[in-house]
Amino acid sequence: MTTLRTLLAGLLAAFALVAMTPAAALACSCVVGSTEQHLQDADVVFTGTLTEVEPPPRRVIMSSGDPATYHFDVDEVLKGDAPVNARVTSAVSGASCGLENMTVDQEYVVYANGDRELTANLCGGTAHAGPARVERLRQVTGPAHPPGSAVAYPAPGDGPPYAWILGAGAGVGLVAAGAAALGLRRRRAVG
C-alpha cells in the first residue's frame, strides 16, 4: 500500500510540475526592411522629439498589446501630413511589436500609419534620428516640409463640454416626461 501511495504522490507531483510550468512566451519578430520599404508601408513619416510616453491605464489584467501613447514635437515631415504635436499609439511592449525603450528628449524618425490617429510598431522602421539616417531618408523622399500649424488633437478637457450637453438633454427629457405624466394624471382625474 505504501508503494501505491508513493507512486501516486510521484505522479501527482509530476503532473503539478508540468501543469505549473509557464508556457513559452512569444516575442515580436520583424523582417529587416530598407528605408524604401518602410517609406512605402507608412502613411506618415516625420522627425521629431519625443516629449512624453503615456502608458496605458492600469488594470487588474494587463496585456503587452495594450496601447501606449507617444507624444512628439514634430520638426519636419517627409511623407504625408503630421501636426506640430503628434500623438502616436503603439503596443506598450516590444513583445507585441510595440515601440519601446524610447527616451524622452531624444529625436526620432517615426514611420506611422493612419491620418488623424497615428499608429506605429517596432517593425515599421521608427528609430533614433541619427544624421546619416535622416540624410538617407531625405535622399529618398526629397525635401521635407514643416508640420501643420495647429495641434491636430484636442488636449483632454478641450472641445465641447459633452458631459454638460448630455446632462442638459437628460434633464430636459425628464422634465418633459414629468409634465406629460402630470397632464395624463389630471385628465384622468377630470374625466
How does pLDDT run across 82-102, given as a tens digit for each residue?
Answer: 999 999 999 999 999 999 899
**Residue among 38, 26, 8, 6 at smallest CA distance from 108:** 38
pTM of this structure: 0.64
Q: Can you give the pLDDT at residue 161? A: 46
Between the CA of residue 99 and those of 64, 93, 112, 122, what are the distances in Å? 11, 7, 11, 5
**Residue among 55, 54, 94, 57 at smallest CA distance from 72:** 54
Backbone angles phi, psi at 26, to 5 degrees: -95, 140
Q: Can you give the pLDDT at residue 100? A: 86
Q: Where are the domains of the chain?
A: 35-141
pLDDT of 183 higher than 80? no
Q: Can you give the pLDDT at residue 166? A: 42
Alpha helices in 21-154 (DSSP H): 35-41, 131-141
pLDDT digits (tens, 9 = 90+) for 98-143: 998 999 999 999 999 998 899 999 999 999 999 999 999 999 999 8
Least confident of 7-11, 92-96, 152-156, 176-180: 152-156
In the structure, what pLDDT confidence band is assigned to residue 43 with cuts at 50, 70 and 90?
very high
Q: What's the chain's average pLDDT?
A: 78
Q: Can you give the pLDDT at residue 182? A: 54
Q: Can you give the pLDDT at residue 2? A: 72
Backbone angles phi, psi at 98, to 5 degrees: -85, 155
CATH 3.40.50.920 fits 35-141, yes or no: no
**Dihedral angle, C-alpha 46, 90, 67, 148, nearest 10 °:** 10
Q: Can you give the pLDDT at residue 115? A: 80
Q: What is the arithmetic mean of pLDDT over 172-188?
A: 54
